[in-house]
Chains A and B, each alone.
Chain A
Amino acid sequence: MKSLSSLKSLIAKNLAFIILFVLGLLIPQITSDQYILHLLILSFILATLGASWDMLAGYGGLFSFGHQAFYAIGGYASAIICINYGASPWLGLLIGGVFASLASLIISYPVLKLRGPYIALITLAFSLVVFELIIIFRDLTGGPSGLWGIPEFTSLDLGIAKITFGYADRTSYYYLAYVLMIISIVLLKIFVESKYGLRLRIIKESEEVAETLGIDTVKYKLMAVLISTFIAGYIGAFYAHYIQLLSPEVTWVSTMLDIVLATMLGGFVTIYGAVVGSVATIFLKEYLRVLEQWRLVIFGGVLILIVIAAPNGLIKEVIVRVSSLRKRISGKKP
């Protein structure tokens, strides 16, 4: 009985998530519009990135402004190894994650030593270093003109069904992106709700208090960095094998702004928020293409307004407002 009621409360707590999860599963059955599927795949990539950044920045207080660098490292590492060594793109996902985490170790020393804005600055500088390295080692990375001919995912034989990946029908890409996103989000959610996540939040509130409580601050922060960059790395690898072309522009600050915008739209310190925010960001960006250059002007303006008016995230703010309104109304009734 106890397990049943706890299951019930778990479902009730994550109801919105479960509804979205089922909806996500059904979409390729509802529409076969390849363009919509493509946009959703891009949204899932951004959502995974956003969620991993949210864990690092929102829960861990490590305000990385170079998250896109790990995304790029994952993509380039997997692409280069698959092109030069003929490794399977499936292994590439793991390679991407591992390389991104290894790269994060290099920058971890200063990041774990410093606080607040310094972390933003140093990670931003790191992303610029990564950009220049991609330009400099052009024999390997393709340089400014981009890395072409990244192999696509090989077909997967599951015995009962054979899954092939192609542009004509993106359904399998869609489900792969979807699964990767769901795995990442569930893992991140479990991590932040666990005792490790709790300690991470204590460290964010006050490093002194955490140390007094005997929490090894370096260990927990390093754990957060490694998990977050691993996720950014493998989703970068997925992006590389999906688009089959990588350009050094992914390391630009504009990618970071997309991540921030998606997270801020959906809700900061929520993990889930990034999903809703990313779908909104990608679709708005596409459908506002008619506005040409005005699009980015509007985006910049919207982000400024969000930071001013709803610093915890737009949708989260709306939900909080609505639920407090509902409470007030139902409180008045009796």
Chain B
Amino acid sequence: MVTLLGTAPPHTSLYFLQISSLSLTTVIQLLVGGIIDGLFYALMGLGFGVILEGMDLYDFAHGAFYMIGGYITYYSINAITADPIIAIILSMAITFLFGCVVDFLTLRPVRKRGREDWVLAGLIILMSLSVLLENLAIIVFGTEYKGVPPYVQGHVTVGDIIIDLQRALSASLSAILILITYVFLKKTKYGRAIRALAQNKELAEISGVNPEILYPIIFGLGACLAAAAGSLLAPVYFISPTIGAFPGLMAFIVVIISGLGSTGGLILGGILLGITSSFVGFLYSNEWAYLVAFAIAIVVITFRPRGLFGVRRE
């Protein structure tokens, strides 16, 4: 047979379509793993979504904030106190302030110039910021991987399914943080102001909302949610200057897939993405899992730009 690719590949060119058989235990194990990953994706996506909705800005430095959160956790646990709760709070607080400063120094001047090229100027600024922060981290922290001891040890077994306690704890804390953010946005004065600003800037301003105070807060909030994810996953993965790249991308993918304006939709989208990735990753390889995630994002943007569960933004 003449193959299209000239020199014949060692195996059939459709090898990637073969599916290995799955037992029920493996399926449930993969589902559980997918749900846990999905909650991390949702937490990353939430911060990304808050910034996108409130500021009309794609946060391409989201991965960098995740990385910063990881390093703050590492230094807090090693230098200040072993208490992980304090480490998480510290990393969120510092990154929140840092986010406010970044907005004030780099985004505000562009915003003041007018809305015309805002999105793309913001995109370039944040991409550059992420390159800057990654390399600064290499200088300051070095390239070697740093590890944080697990917050909880051991695992539970339900039937044949093994759940790592650390991952389960991190996932539950992610869910709790998502819930807290949801309550903050729905019930508090600031949260309502942020949502008003996201829906209609002019009307919000008339009602006494000052956007120049709110924008840094929105950006800081988004950044600190990314840092929280970095803190929660610090004991699961190692910390390195480039660790944020993948979670940052996943935040972007999950927001594209689920759309804006619905926290439930975001969680569902995150879990769907997590489950898809865990199955594709198991059956083929991690590269295929990423490929499928990116391809799903492209298909969703093409046919449903506001996302699968989004209620706003065309």
Contacts and interface: CB of A to CB of B under 8 A. Distances in A.
Interface stretch (B33-41, B132-140, B200-208): B132-140
Nearest to A106: B298
B125 interface: yes
Interface string A289-309: 000011111011101100110
Interface in B117-140: 117, 119-121, 123-125, 127-136, 138-139
A278 B131 CA distance: 19
A117 interface: yes
Nearest to B284: A136
B302 interface: yes
Interface stretch (A35-43, A122-130, A208-216, A323-331): A122-130
Say whether chain A's binding surface is mostly helix, strand, loop, or mixed: helix
A117 B120 contact: yes
Interface residues of B, number: 46
A299 B128 CA distance: 8
B46 interface: no
Interface string A247-286: 0000001100100100010000000000000000000000
Nearest to A295: B135
A110 B301 contact: yes
A183 interface: no
Nearest to B288: A136
Contacts of A84: 5-7
A296 B131 contact: yes
B298 A110 contact: yes
A129 B291 contact: yes
Interface stretch (B85-93, B106-114, B148-156): B106-114
Contacts of A63: 120
Given A117-B119, A296-B135, A307-B124, A136 B291 contact: yes
B139 A109 contact: no
Q: Which of B120, B130, B253 has the most CB of A within 10 A?
A: B120
A140 interface: yes
Interface of A: 63, 65, 84-85, 107, 109-110, 113-114, 116-118, 120-122, 125-126, 128-129, 132-133, 135-136, 139-140, 253-254, 257, 260, 264, 293-297, 299-301, 303-304, 307-308, 311
Interface of B: 5-7, 9-10, 16, 58, 106, 109-110, 113, 117, 119-121, 123-125, 127-136, 138-139, 249, 252-253, 256, 285, 287-288, 290-291, 294-295, 297-298, 301-302, 305
Given A132-B294, A303-B124, 13 more contacts: A117-B123, A121-B297, A125-B253, A125-B294, A125-B301, A129-B298, A132-B290, A293-B136, A294-B139, A299-B128, A300-B130, A307-B110, A311-B117
